[in-house]
């Protein structure tokens, strides 16, 4: 890592840590936590979608399992929702293996289509299953019985919990990309056949990446439902949940460590800002602006903003030194 990159990371970390002090007020913090949550799930997706190049458009299934379990455990046993997080992780791992084994026989678009189909199946199934609240969904404790219920009126605790989890996800991803396993993933991404001919166990590697990705996506789902206190089939397993992860990662730069974080900062702030400015008018301008910016990025910077930054930053440094 060059000195500049290290400085950049330190700066970013400092901004994220100090954000609650810089922007006080519950709404700013709420937006901050929304950014971090989106960054966690997009970074989790990034492991299999970015590094391994297996574009899953069904990651909502892991997010949903993670979101449902804490509230389900709470509704059935009255235990704090937190108790459902490990159960959600365990189920997501099992789900990843069951889905991954057959789906990784497929490549490219076919793999993406298979993941969409499975996620939609789970969504529809959940919507008719009384035990998990069917179409109406599940609720958590609205007013916490103690700190362990994690229902804070103040937004600050959520912000720092999310920031902590994001740090873990990014650290694991960082170690992963430096490891031999990371090289396998990149090899698979650039050419599966070549990788296989060089002795990389392609399916096993992809499966491991999917399991790791599912674990973190599930945690993101749990954080979402604990904070929101509500989940229904659409907000847990909905296709938009999956698509949002893909868009954020692609926007910031899929397959790069900080891409999803950059994407989340831009996209979520943009969503919130356009909705705050134009939402009340109800003219739909929100979507037009939001969609327009995505189109512009797809047209001019398909590699994502992180790539763009990497391209222009050396030039910026040089020009500054020259000056």
Where along the sequence are the contacts to another protein (CB under 8 A)?
A: 25-27, 30-31, 34, 127-128, 134-137, 139, 142-143, 151, 153, 155, 224, 228-230, 232, 234-235, 272, 275-276, 279-282, 284, 286-287
CB of 174 to another protein, least distance (A): 29
Tokens of 138: 């599940």
CB of 66 to another protein, least distance (A): 15
Tokens of 34: 């929304």
Q: Which of 142, 255, 3 has the alpha carbon at shortest distance from 150?
A: 142
CB of 30 to another protein, least distance (A): 5
CB of 81 to another protein, least distance (A): 13
Strands 230-231 vs 138-139: parallel, antiparallel or unpaired = antiparallel
Q: Which of 10, 211, 245, 155 has the alpha carbon at shortest distance from 1?
A: 10
CB of 210 to another protein, least distance (A): 26
Which CB sits closer to another protein, 181 or 230?
Answer: 230
Which CB sits closer to another protein, 158 or 306?
Answer: 158
Which CB sits closer to another protein, 62 or 104?
Answer: 62
3-state class (DSSP) for residue 191: coil
CB of 315 to another protein, least distance (A): 38
Which CB sits closer to another protein, 155 or 192?
Answer: 155
Which CB sits closer to another protein, 54 or 151?
Answer: 151
Indicate left, alpha or beta for 304 from its phi (over 0: left) and psi (-120 to 50: alpha). left
Which CB sits closer to another protein, 146 or 281?
Answer: 281
Residue 231 host element (H or E): strand 230-231
Burial 79-93 (b: 16+ CB within 10 A, else e): ebbeebbebbbebbb
Rg (CA), the chain: 20
């Amino acid at each position: 890592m060059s000195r500049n990159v290290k400085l950049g990371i330190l700066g970013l970390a400092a901004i994220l840590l100090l954000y609650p002090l810089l922007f006080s007020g519950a709404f700013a913090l709420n937006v901050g936590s929304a950014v971090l949550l989106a960054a966690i799930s997009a970074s989790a997706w990034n492991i299999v979608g970015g590094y391994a190049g297996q574009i899953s458009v069904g990651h909502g299934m892991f997010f949903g399992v993670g979101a449902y379990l804490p509230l389900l455990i709470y509704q059935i046993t009255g235990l704090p929702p937190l108790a459902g997080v490990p159960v959600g992780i365990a189920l997501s791992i099992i789900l990843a293996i069951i889905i991954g084994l057959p789906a990784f026989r497929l490549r490219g678009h076919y793999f993406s289509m298979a993941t969409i189909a499975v996620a939609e199946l789970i969504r529809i199934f959940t919507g008719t299953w009384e035990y998990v609240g069917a179409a109406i969904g599940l609720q958590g404790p609205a007013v916490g019985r103690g700190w362990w219920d994690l229902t804070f009126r103040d937004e600050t605790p959520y912000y720092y919990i999310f920031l902590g989890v994001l740090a873990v996800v990014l650290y694991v991803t960082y170690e992963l990309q430096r490891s031999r396993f990371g090289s396998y993933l990149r090899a698979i991404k650039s050419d599966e056949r070549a990788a296989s001919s060089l002795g990389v166990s392609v399916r096993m590697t992809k499966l491991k990446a999917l399991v790791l990705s599912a674990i973190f996506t599930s945690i993101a789902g749990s954080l979402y439902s604990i904070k929101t206190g509500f989940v229904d089939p659409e907000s847990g397993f909905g296709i938009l949940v999956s698509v949002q992860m893909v868009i954020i990662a692609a926007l910031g730069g899929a397959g790069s460590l900080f891409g999803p974080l950059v994407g989340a900062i831009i996209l979520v702030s943009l969503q919130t800002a356009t909705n705050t400015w134009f939402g009340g008018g109800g003219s739909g301008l929100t979507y037009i602006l939001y969609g327009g910016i995505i189109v512009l990025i797809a047209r001019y910077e398909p590699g994502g903003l992180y790539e763009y930054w990497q391209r222009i930053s050396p030039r910026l440094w040089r020009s500054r030194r020259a000056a």
